[in-house]
Amino acid sequence: MPRKVKSGLIQMSLPMTEGEGSIKEIMKAMTDKHIPYIEEAGKQGVQILCLQEIFNTPYFCPGQDKEWYASAETVPGPTTEMMQEYAKKYQMVIIVPIYEKEQAGVFYNTAAVIDADGTYLGKYRKNHIPHTTGFWEKFFFKPGNLGYPVFQTKYAKVGVYICYDRHFPDGARILGLNGAEIVYNPSATVEGLSQYLWKLEQPAHAAANGYFMGCINRVGEEKPWDLGRFYGTSYFVDPRGQIFAEASEDKDELLVAEFDLDMIDEVRSTWQFFRDRRPETYDKLTEL
């Protein structure tokens, strides 16, 4: 029997920005803008849905304004609890990337994973945190401390690898070894800097590890930061490294695709990368 899964990715532009409302109003506007797309995913029978990196705020990391600490919340917390209701309503797994506050002064770039019955399964915290012009993320986020968890959902074993993580093959491999069948990469990245890598790195991870990936990027420009244009182009890639569904560069969009998880067995029976790996020769990776 084929193990077919229907998955969805939502890419979204910012409806309200700094100076146009309070932080809470901006967050509410972004959340409200997502709701019809989440509802549409449910109506289309999407079984696993993933949103973009810190989905309900701007990408505020080009600046270093501590006022944005106020946009962080506990996970689980109010936003995840709201998403649990939609997950239960539509029997849909939802991956919710959000700015997490663990305690005063301790923040993470996090993705909550909610199962199809509304159960909160756990979270992934972004492990690799950049800190350079335009991406002052260490001002806002601590590096993750939960490793590379894989979540057994109703429909598939799911992993998450957030934005800058994608530049590091090591965690992508661990997700595969931990049993991931689909890895989602919610991101916020702009044209020029890393666009040429967008369709290079994740297909390479998918092929090297024999799993599916869903890669999400936001769209539009976000003032007052003027980092550049978020170029969307969210896509799905299969275990052969072939992109088989792709969204636009500039439109708010729900991308939906159906695929057969049995392809993982087929591909791994041909390319025995997990069998042939030599971890005993990789000690320098942790020594250097």
What number of other Cβ atoms are within 10 A of residue 117's Cβ?
Answer: 12
CA-based nearest residue to 102, from 127, 129, 74, 123: 74
Our answer to whether residue 43 is catalytic in this structure is no
Q: How would DSSP label each residue in 78-89?
A: HHHHHHHHHHHH
Reference 130, options 120, 141, 119, 122; nearest CA is: 141
Options 126, 137, 215, 222, the catalytic residue: 126
Report the length, in residues, of the chain.
288
Residue 141 dihedral angles phi and psi, to the nearest 5°: -130, 140
Tokens 């702009």 belong to 190
Active-site pick, 18, 53, 201, 222: 53
- Which is catalytic among the residues 18, 50, 157, 163? 163
Q: Is 258 a catalytic residue?
A: no
Q: Alpha-carbon distance 31 to 211, whole Å?
A: 30
Assigned token pair, 1: 């029997």
Q: What is the DSSP string of 35-75?
A: HHHHHHHHHTT-SEEEPPTTTTS---TTS--GGGGGG-B-S
Question: What CA–CA distance (Å, rounded) separates 16 from 148?
Answer: 33
Q: Any catalytic annotation for residue 126?
A: yes
Q: What is the largest CA-CA distance in the chain?
A: 56
- Residue 246 forms beta bridges with which residues? 235
Phi and psi torsions of 111, nearest 5°: -130, 120
What single-letter amino acid sits at 262? D
Catalytic residue annotation: 53, 126, 163
